[in-house]
A and B are shown apart, each in its own frame.
Chain A
């Protein structure tokens, strides 16, 4: 491309600097050339600087090769940059070259930024920005903060505030996944249903603060005696559920017994009349006692009832499921 090279000014200037003597006709021609050049430059300056530049190339420049193209490209550039400055990211620029490429690159980055913000708004908090320096730092800090907030909210939604254990909602979400995994891996899964013995008496005799102390202590004990792969939940009131993936009945019963023994040795020195507490456990195992969350919970609940009936402070395993 040699835009502007055909403008008469080059010939005119060349003639003058060569020092050739011009006759009247040549002088007029050079003067005309200067005039046209000046007009052309004014026109291009107008596109760059003025509020309302001419919309079209004047007829006398139509015959100057590439001038009209250059004029139109500058006009396109002007329209495009105006749109960008006003936040319109859908404008298109039918122009090639370095400046056009840089502006399109800016537009691409801004459009990607828009998409990323939309993605964050839709809940995708993995988006991170690597454009616009300080803005990127601020954006990424904001998303980090949102992620922390979301994690906290999520944790609050699935955690029992008194004991710090997971709650019934979490268990409801988790059990189908755990059973699906157990099925896939062909492994058993033990479910313990735990109920604090004579808990009502503690509350009635010593007050709710004493009852809360027992529940918090049991929560701490279950957290300490379960593995990362286990799920320990407060089921409601003084009832707790512990899921032990991979544990068959005998292993589940042994661990339940360990927990029971540990709990009965816990001391509550503030509760003079009841310095110790106990719990009863009903144990059901997948798949022997049920293959759905509901069936397992029911089986464990029935076993827990038998433990209570059998004198409390003991572990009972569910009876084998019988086919209908």
Chain B
């Protein structure tokens, strides 16, 4: 697409070893959430809640595909995919992934993410807020299976849960 300034590529993650020889690759979670929720605030203010959720979902979907391509490549079967994903999400402090049910033939999964990067510890606001995670998981599953998934968060820290629970179903 011509004229795009921020077309995503993995190169944009940068050479962190070169760029941050003293501070390294880690930062505090508050910083991540500060950026995420200020983005949300401004996007919601300008485009409304539904559109803000759609944008975060779409960004998550893109991130999930890119993450699969660059971090999880080589998973040959579902157990290996799960294992690699669990390991990567834990190592990168994104969350603790657990599978509750997986029926790949029917294209249906139930999974949870505990200590989730986006929401764990937030106030109970009565709404599931992990739309970015929904997109991210849909991106991962889609990249692994080659199918399109609809991922829906059914329990969230922000609705009083202690772990975020997602259903994932093939839609195409």
Q: Which residues of A contact B161 (CB under 8 A)?
A: 100-101, 104-105
CB closest residue in chain B, given A98: B160
Instruction: Render A124-142 as a binary contact track against B, CB cut-off 8 A, 1 for contact.
Output: 1010000000000000000
Whether, in the assembled complex, A200 has its beta carbon less than 8 Å from a beta carbon of chain B, the answer is no
When the two chains form their complex, are residues A108 and B112 in contact, meaning their CB atoms are under 8 A apart? yes
Q: Which residues of B contact A124 (CB under 8 A)?
A: 79
Among A11-19, A24-32, A111-119, A303-311, the one that faces the other chain is A111-119
When the two chains form their complex, are residues B155 and A104 in contact, meaning their CB atoms are under 8 A apart? yes
Instruction: Render B82-100 as a binary contact track against A, CB cut-off 8 A, 1 for contact.
Output: 0100000000000000111
Q: Which residues of B contact A81 (CB under 8 A)?
A: none
Given contact pairs A101-B161, A116-B99, a sample of 6 additional A-B residue pairs in the complex whose CB atoms are under 8 Å apart: A97-B160, A102-B162, A105-B161, A108-B114, A112-B112, A119-B79
A98 CA / B155 CA spacing, docked (Å): 13
Q: Number of contact residues on B: which range applies?
A: 20 to 34
Q: Which residues of A contact B83 (CB under 8 A)?
A: 126
Q: Which residues of A contact B99 (CB under 8 A)?
A: 112, 115-116
Of the listed residues A97, A115, A116, the one surrounded by the most CB atoms of chain B closer than 10 A to its CB is: A115
Query: Which of B's residues lie within 8 Å of A, judged by CB?
Result: 79, 83, 98-102, 110, 112, 114, 124, 126, 155, 157, 159-163, 165
When the two chains form their complex, are residues A109 and B98 in contact, meaning their CB atoms are under 8 A apart? yes
Whether, in the assembled complex, A2 has its beta carbon less than 8 Å from a beta carbon of chain B, the answer is no
Query: Which of A's residues lie within 8 Å of B, judged by CB?
Result: 95-98, 100-102, 104-105, 108-109, 111-112, 114-116, 119, 124, 126
Distance in Å: Cβ of B9 to nearest Cβ of chain A? 29
Q: Which residues of B contact A95 (CB under 8 A)?
A: 160
Contact A104-B165, Cβ < 8 Å, known A98-B160, A111-B110: yes
When the two chains form their complex, are residues A126 and B79 in contact, meaning their CB atoms are under 8 A apart? yes
Q: Which residues of B contact A111 (CB under 8 A)?
A: 100-101, 110
CB closest residue in chain A, given B161: A101
